[in-house]
Every structure is written in C-alpha cells, then in structure tokens.
Amino acid sequence: MRQPISGKLSVHGHATTNSESNFDSQPQTSDRSGAMSLRQILPNSRFHAGDDVRFHGVCEKPSEVSPGELVVYRIGEVDPARLVADALARGAAGILTEQVLPCPLPQCIVGELDLAMASVFSSLRDRPDQKLLTIGVVGSAGKTTTSLLIANLFRSQKIRTAFQTDLGSSDGVLQSTEDSNLPSARELVDWMSDAVDCESQVAVVELRDDDARHGRYDCVQFDMIIVTGSTLNNDDFGPSSLSCVLDRLTPEGIVVAPVDDTRAMRVIGDAGVRSFTYGVRKSADITAKMIEQADGMSTLLVSHEDESAVMETSLCGGAMAANHAAAIAVGLLVDWPLYEICELLGKLRVVPGRQDRISRYGHASVTIDLAGNSDRCSAAMRTARAMKAGGRLWCITAIDATQDSLSLARLGGLLERFADHAIVTSMPDQKKSFLTASHAVLDGVKECAAMRLVADSTRALQWAMAEAKPADTILVMLNEPSLTAHQARTKIEAIKKMVETAWDEKEASDPRPKLKVFG
C-alpha cells in the first residue's frame, strides 16, 4: 500500500480507461516458502529444461552459489562448462542466461541480461516503485526544470520526496551531484529502494529517451507521466520514447501532457490512458498565460475550470511557463488548492544551468544555459531575447560534431533568427572536427559572414565580453547533453568564476571615481 499523500490521486482530466494490455501485470511472484517464480517475473522469456525456475536469491559468481539460488551467466566472462559444473555441484535452482547451455538445470533465456536482472532485483526488493508515488518526466526539453519544480512542490508541503535529474539527485534525505549519468534499470531500482528506506513518499524521475526506447524502465511502473517539450523522435525507426514509457503506466495512472503537442496527444489517445492537459497558448485543463515579463520576473495568469490565480516567478520565458503549468497540474491532481500551488512554486527562484544569469553594473550581463539540443537552444534564445534590457543579444553556442548535419543546420537558422551576434565554438574534445561541423551550421544560415567561428570556447566568451556594451546580454549555451550532474555544476561555476575575474580585471585597469558621502 502507498502511504497517503495529502488526499487521493484524483483525476480531473479525461476519464478514458487504461487497457491492462498496455502494461505488464504483476502477479504474486513468491509462494508460501518464499521462493520467487522467474516465469512470473519475466513472462516473455523462454525456458529450457523446465517450465519455471523457483529461487530464493541471485548469485552472479558461480563459485559462490548457494542451494536454491539463481545463477547468472554472462557470455564471455566465465567458462560455461565451469559454470554448469559449479551450479550442479552447489545445488543451484537454475540459470539465467542469454543462450542455452548444455545443462539439465532449468534455464531462463532472455534477450538482454541486464534488463532481466533489473526486473529480478525489483521483485527481490519487494517492488520499491509500488511503495512510492512514482512520477516520470519525459520529453525533449524542460524535463529537469519540471522535475525540480514538482519535487520542490511536494517538499514545500512537508512530504519527503526523492528525485533524479541532470542537475542532481536526492533519496529524500541526502542531496548530491553525481558524477554519473541518470540511473536506469537495476541502478534505478536500487535508488528507489534507498528512497523507500529513507521513508520517502514520492519519487520524481527524469527519463532519458534512449533508455526508454531500450526498455531500461521496464523494471518499474509509474503513477504519473509528465510530458514536456516535444516528443518528436528524430529516428526513423522504432517507437517513440513516449510510447515506450506509456507501457509502464499503472492501471490507475495518468499522463500530464501539453495540449500544444499534437503528436503527443495522438500517441496518448491511441494508448487509451487517462490524461490531463496543460498549455500556454491553446485551451487546456490548466493554462498559464503570460501577462507581463520584465526586470527578470514573469507574471502568469493560471486558470483551471472556473478558478484563476496570479503567479510571479523569476524563471522567465514561454518554455518556463509551460514547465510551471505541468507542475501545477501535478499539484491539482493531488487535490491542492490552485492559489497555494502557485504560491509554493513561485518560491523556486533559480535552477542552475537554466537561464542562470549573473550581472554587474557597468558590464554586459551573462546568462548560462546548459541547453543540449536545438529545442532547448531555441527556448533559451527566445527567453534571452525577450528579457534583454534594450541592448544586443550575443549568443555563444558549442556545437556537437557527432550531431547530424540537419540538426546543425537547424541550429544555425535559430542563431541567425534570434541573435544579434552569433559565435559558434567547439566542444573541448572536438576541435579537430570543428571546421566540418561549423560548415554544417552555416548551411542553415543566409548571411554566413554574420557568424563568427571561434574553436576555443574560453576565447569566444572573452571576446564577446570585450566587445559587448553594458546594456547587452551574452547567452552562453554549453550544449553538451552527456554531462553528468557534477560535471555540469563544475562547468557552470568555472564560467561564473571566469566572468567575475574578467570584470574585476577590467575595473582594476580602469578604476572609476567613487562618491564620498559627507555628514
């Protein structure tokens, strides 16, 4: 049973039912003796020399297996003949493998061992995802900000909340910036188990598109799925990440989706799941209209049915308004008053690496954004252009040479559209391929002479700061999607330190007279 969270998870949206064929049912996986059934845990796998494997534990080292345990065989890591001999001699219950072995013991054959192991360990840990209100956030842009807004909303209500994002994580007690990518499969199960041990009630998880398409979330189920940005899949083959994640929605679960994303709404409709929509332009279950945006603050008019509330936030721009609308929708689904939700969300002032602005009198302000893809770059440039104080907008963006030429050309078109001065620079380890990648960027530009190419990102920023006037805005987009939370925080702090040092040196070389106050 889940612990209560300020009332029931009510549904204000559409009342369509979720077909049980859209997710793996979870029957009782153990008998009275405590033995686990591998067939019930992995119903889509094949069995050899038996119809099922019942086991009490899992051992990944054949020489240490105990009677009644399941042995794991990884191809190429151990001698299969030795593994079979150890398993038979030590009374193993069966073997989990990717290929059939010449052995009389029952064997379970799976397509990918790591994914199967994640499901097995989830059952061994008594399904930690079922003891939490699990919220998955998927999409091309806005996942991190939306995840942090939702986590902040629950924590403001004194509800212990665990979260996993690109900028950091928490098990409900300790917060950290991990030097690794977002967890999935077995790592995600372990983290959820830790969150349960810390008595967390909610888990907010940022989902990676590639992991979703490769089935690395099949070991858990979600009570809510939040869709942000766009769900457009650049790959021509295979299902979208949204389609894969929808398969992991619980029978009573609900999807919070942007009404402006027609493709996402079509996928959700085809899946037959319950939905709750949000929007900033079209009419939706919850709408967030931008009334005013000035002096680093945005004022939103939030409406739901016959109720409205005004909200002020320092997270500006249309993309941020959509992120707030998604977080507000989550609050409404757990029956919190609209005015209270808006008040609590307005208290989150800064998200590191998302329109992270530093300024000083007499100098051009610098805004740092992690970006990561063309959608995030577009949102960052739109917001920076809307918020600039009458001066020019300088955009410095690093390009990823591994991206396809079409994506790089689109980035070039966006730079030409939004920036008064565009500077294209290289990733730290891709300077040798920078010229080729920069030509692909220029393919999307009409006035190629307006672009400045500087391979060294540090020199690019130094040049922009030297040329920009005090009323200008310099937008720095790191555009490195593979950064870990620790690496992202480190890079942001390094840029801030470099900017502050440059300002100090400029002021020291050209001191200004100070006013002396008498009396």
Domain membership flag for residue 208: yes
Query: Where does a domain end: 287, 321, 347?
Result: 347
Q: Which amino acid is at 382?
A: R
Q: Which amino acid is at 502?
A: A
Same domain for 447 and 396: yes
pLDDT band for position 374 (cuts 50, 70, 90):
confident
Residues 256, 273: Cα–Cα separation, whole Å: 11
Residue 28 in this model has a pLDDT that exceeds 60: no
For the segment 358-362, the average pLDDT, to the nearest whole number, is 89
Residue 220 in this model has a pLDDT that exceeds 70: yes
pLDDT band for position 231 (cuts 50, 70, 90):
low
Q: 């845990």: which residue's tokens? A: 41
For the segment 21-48, the average pLDDT, to the nearest whole number, is 71
Same domain for 300 and 428: no
Domain membership flag for residue 211: yes
Residues 187, 193: Cα–Cα separation, whole Å: 10
Residue 155 in this model has a pLDDT that exceeds 70: yes
Other CB atoms within 10 Å distance of the CB of residue 193: 20
Residue 368 parent element (H or E): strand 365-369
Same domain for 258 and 363: no
**pLDDT above 70 coverage of the chain, percent:** 90
Domain membership flag for residue 343: yes
The answer to whether the CB of 475 falls within 8 A of the CB of 393 is yes
The answer to whether the CB of 331 falls within 8 A of the CB of 432 is no
At residue 431's C-alpha, the angle toward residues 425 and 432, to 5°, is 140
Residue 6 in this model has a pLDDT that exceeds 60: no
Residues 287, 278: Cα–Cα separation, whole Å: 6
- Kindly report, residue by residue over 88-105, the tens digit of the pLDDT: 999 999 999 999 999 999
pLDDT band for position 239 (cuts 50, 70, 90):
confident
Q: What is the pLDDT, as a whole number, of residue 233?
A: 53
Domain membership flag for residue 436: yes
The answer to whether the CB of 342 falls within 8 A of the CB of 333 is no
The CATH number of residue 253's host domain is 3.40.1190.10
Region of poorest pLDDT, from 152-161, 201-210, 290-299, 314-323: 290-299
Same domain for 171 and 318: yes
- Kindly report, residue by residue over 309-345, the tens digit of the pLDDT: 999 998 888 889 999 999 999 999 999 999 999 999 9
pLDDT band for position 10 (cuts 50, 70, 90):
very low
pLDDT band for position 232 (cuts 50, 70, 90):
low
Same domain for 341 and 360: no
C-alpha to C-alpha distances, 220 to 30, 197, 208, 265, 322, nearest whole angstrom: 18, 17, 14, 23, 27
Q: What is the pLDDT, as a whole number, of residue 468?
A: 93
Same domain for 465 and 332: no
DSSP letter assigned to residue 301:
E
Domain membership flag for residue 142: yes
Residues 304, 232: Cα–Cα separation, whole Å: 27
- Kindly report, residue by residue over 397-422, the tens digit of the pLDDT: 999 888 888 989 999 999 999 999 99
The answer to whether the CB of 312 falls within 8 A of the CB of 299 is yes
Domain that includes residue 95, residue range: 37-111
Q: How many residues does the chain have?
A: 519
CA-nearest of 182, 161, 157, 183 to 171 is: 161
Same domain for 145 and 63: no
In Å, the largest CA–CA distance within the chain is 98
Same domain for 43 and 64: yes
Same domain for 269 and 225: yes
CA-nearest of 476, 210, 156, 493 to 330 is: 156
The CATH number of residue 388's host domain is 3.90.190.20
Residues 159, 391: Cα–Cα separation, whole Å: 44
DSSP, collapsed to helix, strand or coil, labels residue 239 as coil
C-alpha to C-alpha distances, 448 to 93, 327, 336, 444, 468, nearest whole angstrom: 67, 41, 52, 9, 21
Residue 22 in this model has a pLDDT that exceeds 50: no
The answer to whether the CB of 313 falls within 8 A of the CB of 324 is yes
CA-nearest of 200, 206, 95, 203 to 147 is: 206
Query: Where does a domain end: 111, 136, 152?
Result: 111
Query: Where does a domain end: 59, 81, 111?
Result: 111
Compute the Cα dihedral for 206, 218, 22, 37 and give only its sign.
negative
Tell which wins on pLDDT, 18 or 53: 53
Residue 19 in this model has a pLDDT that exceeds 70: no
The answer to whether the CB of 240 falls within 8 A of the CB of 233 is yes
Domain membership flag for residue 4: no
Q: What is the pLDDT, as a whole number, of residue 351?
A: 84
Phi, psi of 222 (to 5 degrees): -115, 140
Same domain for 317 and 371: no
Q: Which residues, in sequence order, are CB contacts of 2 under 8 Å at separation 6+? A: 130, 131, 132, 133, 201
CA-nearest of 24, 396, 370, 317 to 206 is: 370
The CATH number of residue 46's host domain is 3.40.1390.10
Q: How far separated are the first and last CA of the chain, in Å rounded?
A: 70
Other CB atoms within 10 Å distance of the CB of residue 257: 30
Residues 43, 28: Cα–Cα separation, whole Å: 13
Residues 409, 433: Cα–Cα separation, whole Å: 16
Residue 7 in this model has a pLDDT that exceeds 80: no
Residues 213, 217: Cα–Cα separation, whole Å: 9
DSSP, collapsed to helix, strand or coil, labels residue 457 as helix
Same domain for 444 and 467: yes
Look at the chain and report how many structural domains it folds into.
3
Same domain for 129 and 104: no
Residues 88, 82: Cα–Cα separation, whole Å: 10
The answer to whether the CB of 172 falls within 8 A of the CB of 160 is yes
Tokens matching residue 428: 């730290």
Residue 432 in this model has a pLDDT that exceeds 70: yes
Residue 20 in this model has a pLDDT that exceeds 60: no
Domain membership flag for residue 116: no
Q: What is the pLDDT, as a whole number, of residue 515?
A: 58
Tokens matching residue 517: 């106050």
Region of poorest pLDDT, from 206-215, 234-243, 476-485: 234-243
Beta bridge partners of 304: 307
The answer to whether the CB of 425 falls within 8 A of the CB of 415 is no
Domain membership flag for residue 512: no
| Average pLDDT across the chain, whole number | 87
